A and B are shown apart, each in its own frame.
Chain A
Amino acid sequence: MEIFDLTAHELSDLLEKKEVTDIEITSAVLKRIHQIDGDIRAYVTITEENALHAAKNVHERRNKGDALPPLAGIPMALKDNICTRGVRTTCSSRMLENFIPPYSATVVDRLLENSAVLLGKLNMDEFAMGSSTESSYFFPTRNPWDIDRVPGGSSGGSAAAVAAGEAVFALGSDTGGSIRQPAAFCGIVGMKPTYGLVSRSGVVAFASSMDQVGPLTKDVRDCALVMNAIAGYDPLDSTSVKRNVPDYTTFLTGEVKGKRIGVVREMIDDGLNPRVAEVFKKAVNKLEGLGAVVDECSLPVAAASSVPVYHIIAPAEASSNLARFDGVRFGYRAVPEKGEKYTLEEMYMKTRGKGFGPEVKRRIMMGTYVLSSGSYEKYYIKAAKVRTLIKKEFEQAYERFDVLITPTTPDLPFLLGEKVNPLDSYDSDKYTVPVNIAGLPAISIPCGFVDGLPVGMQIIAPAFREDSLFQVAYAFEQNTPYHRERPPIKRRASEEKAKGSDIDD
């Protein structure tokens, strides 16, 4: 295996044994980026010089004999809605094309305190609204397993970069499946932590009651290491929860004997691709073979109503959050033609009309409508009440089960341009959205392949029971080969050279 194929914990072991240097690792991953990102298009911005400088710094400290944490010298990258001081943070939107944040998100500070090396910023659906990374203002990202297919979204750049060896790990954000769905599509591990466990300070808000930041990694141990670095109370996020964060690696026991696992009946029915169902069934049998106690469970309201509830609550919150983009303090501002003048309101409206792409406009309009007088009760309050029922349904299920499992997505990665109707692509989140509605933690791990395309299994735990996720995920992973597979990337003549990209081929 090449350096860029290795996991963070494998690289950390090699660094400890002095078999590789921090500089060699970062150089190898940067070289990989130059080699294949023209085809994959995972990166919006590459901070090559800073990365090499940071790697050199870690290298010198290591040589001096400083005690360093496990993520020290590990090159990683961030979804481009996570603010990085001095480094352009675009949300893959024209609105923030040239935005340079004056401060970093708390999760960034924590990774840098752990001496991880920042390689750059990753492509995403505009303002995290989408499931394919096609709504990026700059260019679509490609799936490393088949470059004619989407990597999923909205953290598609994060998932594709990790799968292709263009970053050892990445952070994404997940409002309705935006970490787990692309992780499944790209054959890697992706975790959405419990709402409130990871700070959202400095992460551009989409739907504040559901957004959560989490890791995308090559295996479950790396996921635990990244969670160790980023989880925990932050006084700068008033929704962050004060509680002790355990060392998540202590739950990687490989043991699932007696764990009570519920398979959600409504998520293995007609709506599931039969070939994905086959792979998922084998995975369930595997867990049973390892000693888990598996039974069916039913979540009728969560399965049928989470997506409609989501498409009321998320746009409602987004329409409020995105009101800050008005051309005054930061971001794009529409400028009148020579000789013309805008009134203040014209400036606001033209700025937002030109600065936002179609999906973002659609969601702001939808959110504005469901919050307007006359529809507020009918849509927004109704959805908030159904949300209570969904939350209760999960709570009842956890009286019988330690974790629930589902396929992460109902289908395989789709082709670029295949899903043009917005309602079509909303469907691809139907197994992941209920988790955000209820604020629960969930992880997607590789559980097999169909025609060379990866399939993900989602494990869902009660709030703050990440320990159960890690235990079950690790036991499954250590007894299956899928996490060791790497995509055989087929190059193509790179014809498109989209605007906004900093990449030189």
Chain B
Amino acid sequence: MVLSRKDMEELAVLAQIALDEEELADLQSQLNNLLRYVETINEIDTENVEPTFYLLPLQNVWRQDEDGRQPLAAEEVFQNALEQERGFFKVPRIL
């Protein structure tokens, strides 16, 4: 087994997802199965093979810092936020 129960709890914090006991147990067995399955690619020889992260020979895109598109109006930016105040998104107090 690759992932222990403790690994699962740490992973949930890394992923920032609150999971209950049952979910943690289910996910532990599912992820361990899935990892066993995907590990089959370790049998493939990739000596001297470069990884592919992107499929196209892309270059960074630059543009002049002028006019361009109109940005969204403030009310549009905030229309989907649950809490806001004076032009800021509001989150629980951190200090």
Contacts and interface: CB of A to CB of B under 8 A. Distances in A.
Interface string A361-387: 110111011001000001101111111
Nearest to A439: B55
A331 B76 CA distance: 14
B1 interface: no
Contacts of A463: 55
A344 B91 contact: yes
A330 B35 CA distance: 33
A389 to B, nearest CB: 6
Interface residues of B, number: 52
A50 interface: no
A100 B80 contact: yes
- By CB atoms of chain B within 10 A, which of A100, A354, A358, A365 has the most? A365
A20 to B, nearest CB: 38
Contacts, number: 158
Contacts of B12: 349, 365
Nearest to A347: B92
A353 B19 contact: yes
A73 to B, nearest CB: 29
Prevailing SS type, chain A contact patch: helix
A32 interface: no
B31 interface: yes
Interface of B is mostly: loop
A372 B3 CA distance: 13
A309 B79 CA distance: 39
B56 A388 contact: no
A299 to B, nearest CB: 13
Chain A interface: which size bin?
35 or more
B16 A305 contact: no
Contact of A391 (B30, B55, B94): B55
B23 interface: yes
26 contacts: A98-B80, A195-B56, A209-B53, A235-B61, A239-B54, A239-B56, A308-B40, A308-B41, A323-B16, A327-B82, A344-B93, A349-B17, A349-B18, A353-B19, A364-B15, A365-B12, A365-B27, A366-B31, A372-B14, A382-B42, A384-B52, A384-B53, A385-B49, A385-B51, A391-B52, A438-B55
